Amino acid sequence: MDYAGSTPVDPRVKEAMEPYFSEVYGNPSSLHSAGREAAEALSKAREQVAGLVNAKAPRNIIFTSGATEATNLAIKGVAARSKDKKEILISAIEHISVVNVCRYLQKQGFTIRTVPVDSYGLLDLEALKEALSEKTALISVMYANNEIGTIEPVREIGGIARDAGVPFHCDATAACGKVPIDVEKERIDLLTISSNDMYGPKGTGALYVRDGIRLEPLIHGGGQERGLRSGTENLPNIAGMGAAAELAGAEMEREGKRLTGLRDTLIKGVLDSIPESYLNGHPKKRLPNNAHFRFSYIEGESIILSLDMIGVQAASGSACTSKTLEPSKCLTAIGLSHEEAHGSLQLTLGRSNTMEDVKYVVDNLPGIIKRLRAMSPLAPKMES
């Protein structure tokens, strides 16, 4: 139950990738027949990914080595083209890949302004409007939070950005393939897309770039990907990402309803059976596969290790999983104390999960929490 960390390659995706390892091995830039065959596969994948997010044209999709590179290209690419505008606005719960890019840009003279979120993780739209200025070069707000699952008011953010004439970058790593995304209707200028978060291969991602948005490339060379990402394209992985995008689009509605049912059963079962347990994130405006809890008096790492011993893989917003002494920035941004944040557990569902899996967790988690609280010096005596 850690589909937020990664997803397995769908067997149908693997099948789509196989010809491009040895049978169709040409360089897409070559003019001969083998090159043209590879170029056709590249074009097909571009169309498949464009279709998933309703991009105006396949050329708006730029393939990268993953979501992190796509985000770097979006933010640094805009920043490098900005002459007098030296401010970037981000939400208080952005992924570390966005945060660290912005920390880098601070050293280059940019001002990074953080827009707050409410207790559910929803961006404060009025605060966003107030933070905008003539110096704002970019707004970067994620589509949905990778930890607590809250889906942001993207259409409203896109409208605010468009009215202000400021490019809007949206990190859709956690959301793309799980919920419908329409870059045209939602007025998104730059969109980060991850392959391995929608059952495609690792090491591949894409950046949607709206027509008219000018970026400075990070990698210079032969001019592939419209000059924005030079280097021979990773055709097997790109073909896999294209197949994964097409499958996600075709199955999203049905799979979304199934996962929502499992998620809601999981949330109710945990909250009803464990005293002093709480749901993090918005109760309704959340990813269909995300259930993020916090439990008083114990730490997330101990819950994860205990679940792992009975065959359940999970994640946490606690410090131990990030290898630092600090709790999740996302959880403190929504108002949780350090102690509350450390007691968090993230369960994310995927294609292989069943109702039996959910019942297994609901049946076993209360005993784990009770045992850990009995050992905790923080728990009231009644807990022991």
By annotation, the residues acting in catalysis are 320
- Give the integer Cα–Cα distance in Å for 119 and 125: 14
> In angstroms, what CA-CA distances link 380 with 41, 171, 343, 384?
62, 41, 15, 7
Give φ, ψ of 10 to 5 degrees. Answer: -60, 135
Q: Is the dihedral of CA 172, 68, 165, 50 positive or negative?
A: negative
Secondary structure (3-state) at 193: strand
Question: Two tokens at 54?
Answer: 């309703």
Query: Using an 8 Å Cβ cutoff, are 331 and 344 in contact?
Result: yes
Instruction: Provide the 10 A C-beta neighbour count for residue 11.
Output: 9
Question: Two tokens at 215?
Answer: 């970026």
Query: Using an 8 Å Cβ cutoff, are 6 and 225 in contact?
Result: no
* Residues forming beta bridges with residue 179, ordered by sequence position: 176
Give φ, ψ of 239 to 5 degrees. Answer: -60, -40
What is the 8-class DSSP label of residue 114? Answer: E
Question: Two tokens at 47?
Answer: 């169309």
| Closest C-alpha to 270, from 40, 1, 71 | 1
How large is the angle between the packed helices 33-53 and 235-273, nearest 10 degrees?
30
**Which residue shows structure tokens 């009995």?**
374
Instruction: Provide the 10 A C-beta neighbour count for residue 219.
Output: 14
Q: Torsion-angle region of residue 229: left (phi > 0), alpha (psi -120 to 50) or beta? A: beta
Widest CA span in the chain: 77
Secondary structure (3-state) at 253: helix
The helix (run of H) or strand (run of E) holding residue 61 is strand 61-64
